[in-house]
Chains A and B, each alone.
Chain A
Amino acid sequence: MKKYLIIFAPLVLLAGCSSSSTWGWYVINPMTPSGWINVKFLISGMWATILISVIAAVISIGLGLIVALPGLAASRGWRVLNRVYVELIRSIPLLPMLFWVFYGLPIIFREMGVNIPIDPFWGAIITLAISDSAFTAEIYRAGIQSIAKGQTEAAQTIGLNYIQTMRYVILPQAIRRILPPLANQFIYIVKMSAFASVIGMQELTRRANELVVTEYRPLEIYSLLILEYLVLVLIISAGVRWLERRMGSDERS
């Protein structure tokens, strides 16, 4: 617990300066009615951040596996397909990709004659999921490759096909090695979801930006914003470590 206190110490120190007239901590002081309204406004962005992150992570975990499998195929064509996807997607910075999806993709849809509107919520989710899938794909690939080749051979010789071999033999073993790094990717998604603010998604960062515009207290408000992300990420970290311990104690071979 002590180390968490150390992390929060700088913020407490900053808050301690509130007696000086140059500080304006009153804008986010929950003891005052106006401060409480501001704090509620800021924290209510939490749900959007969590929702975007969780949905994007779930899509990325599925998409990552679909991208990873061709990368493990014997045929060169499949492997090239995997490499092109991974190298292309992970070289695109998140912000340009977000603009491309939010402003560009609807034009492509319109040209194709389908009317699929992309709102900030789904625009952010699609971008985060695709961007992250290149990394989850690499995690899957490494995890699956770490399972000895003999396991696949044994599965083949008892008549299992490719999908059965993955489903019953390889993935159950690989998942123990894959889960901790996948959970780390989830932290990455939570942090990157802040970019959704620039296309108007009302999540944590957007809320903070809007309040800064009206209150003009950037230091205080952004400090609270950082604190919000810190709390989110610390909760996830604790979850990841719990998961790692559980997985570790489960290792039987």
Chain B
Amino acid sequence: MTQAAIELHNVNKWFDTFHVLKDINLSIQPGEKVVICGPSGSGKSTVVRCINRLEEHQKGTIRVDGVELNDDPQSVAAIRSEVGMVFQQFNLFPHLTVLENLTLGPIKARGLSKDEARAKAMHYLERVHIPEQADKRPAQLSGGQQQRVAIARSLCMEPKVLLFDEPTSALDPEMISEVLDVMVELAQEGMTMVVVTHEMGFARKVADQMVFMDAGEIVEQGSPEAFFGAPRSPRCQKFLSQILQH
């Protein structure tokens, strides 16, 4: 077996006395697409936020590309440079243009020249199909366009893994598909992806591994066929019947 891109081993986390993550074990191979779903408050966002240290776990180990996450700022920096993240609220920088949003990281964190960063930014803007918006401010774009800019911003750092934390939950329905289309393209190009989402159509299409979480635990885990075809646990059955009935 090749080295896992991401490896979580018995990860536990508490917010004060609230036990948000209970013995999470998850292994993600390079190129694999993992979709995490579950009711709100189940800890699914917290799992992805722990992978790039936006949250600290208190017990267990997290390894990204073999590097263990701990308090050492060097290990955090090393892991963050490999792991991109797309947020529910986009979190674009409102005072910068689209192009500046994309070039900030490459220039300041990677030391690229302005021209190199700009070329890279335009390349990724084309990949998310909005090169013509380069000089606009985020507030002048629709939600779907903003989220695609946010994806391009992550890609500019050329991460090995891309984390998505409910990337379409803040979008109007007619904009969801343009974001999902970009994500499907990325998946087809071989990007390693961990996606927290309720978009089960997307999950069926791209997921190699489905994870269902409830109350801080991984309740069910497996291939999409098994997951959608014959969920074993009653909690997962109930959840799926609720979100698939419409």
Contact of A160 among B54, B85, B108, B139 (CB under 8 A): B108
CB-based contact A252/B104 at 8 Å: no
Task: Assess A253 versus B110: contact at CB under 8 Å? Given A157-B83, A158-B104.
Answer: no
Shortest C-beta distance, A69 to chain B (Å), equals 17
Collect the chain A residues with CB atoms within 8 Å of residue B77's CB.
159, 161
Q: Pick from B83, B91, B108, B156: contact of A154, CB below 8 A.
A: B91
Choice from A154, A168, A172, A252 contacting B87 with Cβ under 8 Å: A154
Which residues from B are CB-within-8-Å of A172? 95
Partner of B154 from A156, A158, A253 at Cβ < 8 Å: A158
**Could you tell me the distance between the alpha carbons of A151 and B52 in the complex, rounded to whole angstroms?**
15
Query: Does B94 belong to the interface (CB within 8 Å)?
Result: yes
- Given A164-B108, A164-B109, A168-B108, the answer on whether A158 and B91 have CB atoms closer than 8 Å is no
- Segment 52-103 of B: residues with Cβ below 8 Å from A: 52, 54, 77, 80-81, 83-85, 87, 89, 91-95
Q: A48 → chain B, closest Cβ, in Å?
A: 39
Query: A154-185: which residues lie under 8 A (CB-CB) from chain B?
Result: 154-161, 164, 168-169, 172-173
CB B101 to nearest CB in A, in angstroms, measures 9
- A252 pairs with B139, CB closer than 8 A: yes
Task: Across the A-B interface, give the 4 residue pairs with the lowest CB-CB distance, nearest first.
Answer: A159-B109, A158-B105, A253-B94, A154-B91
User: From B84, which residue of chain A is reached at the shortest CB distance?
Assistant: A157
In the complex, residue of chain B having the shortest beta-carbon distance to the beta carbon of A156: B80
Q: Which of A21-43 contact B (CB under 8 A)?
A: none
B157 interface residue, CB < 8 Å from A? yes
Question: Could you say which residues of chain B place their CB within 8 Å of the CB of A252?
Answer: 94-95, 137, 139
Chain B interface bracket (under 10, 10 to 19, 20 to 34, 35 or more): 20 to 34
- In the complex, per-residue mask of A136-160: 1 if CB is within 8 Å of any chain B CB, else 0: 0000000000001011011111111
Say whether A154 contacts B93, CB under 8 Å.
yes
- Give Cα distance in the complex from A155 to B80, angstroms: 11
Query: How many Å from the CB of B158 to the closest CB on chain A?
Result: 11
Q: Does A158 lie within 8 Å of B109, measured CB to CB?
A: yes
A154→B92 contact, CB < 8 A: yes
Q: Which residues of B contact A159 (CB under 8 A)?
A: 77, 80-81, 105, 108-110, 157
A164 to chain B minimum Cβ distance, whole angstroms, is: 5
Q: Which of B80, B89, B93, B110 contacts A169 (CB 8 A)?
A: B93
Shortest CB distance A73–B (Å): 14
Assign chain A's interface to a size class: 10 to 19
Bound: A45/B230 CA distance, A: 87
Residues on A close to B: CB < 8 A?
Answer: 148, 150-151, 153-161, 164, 168-169, 172-173, 252-253
> How many angstroms between the C-alpha atoms of A186 and B156 in the bound complex?
43
A–B complex contacts, Cβ < 8 Å, 29 sampled: A148-B89, A148-B91, A150-B87, A150-B89, A153-B85, A153-B87, A153-B91, A154-B87, A154-B92, A155-B93, A156-B80, A157-B84, A157-B154, A158-B105, A158-B109, A158-B153, A158-B154, A158-B157, A159-B77, A159-B80, A160-B104, A168-B108, A169-B93, A252-B94, A252-B95, A252-B137, A253-B94, A253-B138, A253-B139
In this complex, what residue of A is CB-closest to B94? A253
Q: Which residues of B contact A151 (CB under 8 A)?
A: 91, 93
Contacts of A168 in B (CB 8 A): 104, 108
Taking CB as reference atom, which chain A residue is nearest B87? Answer: A150
With A157-B52, A158-B105, A168-B108 already in contact, 10 other A-B pairs whose C-beta atoms are closer than 8 Å? A150-B87, A150-B89, A150-B91, A151-B93, A153-B85, A154-B91, A156-B80, A157-B83, A157-B154, A160-B108
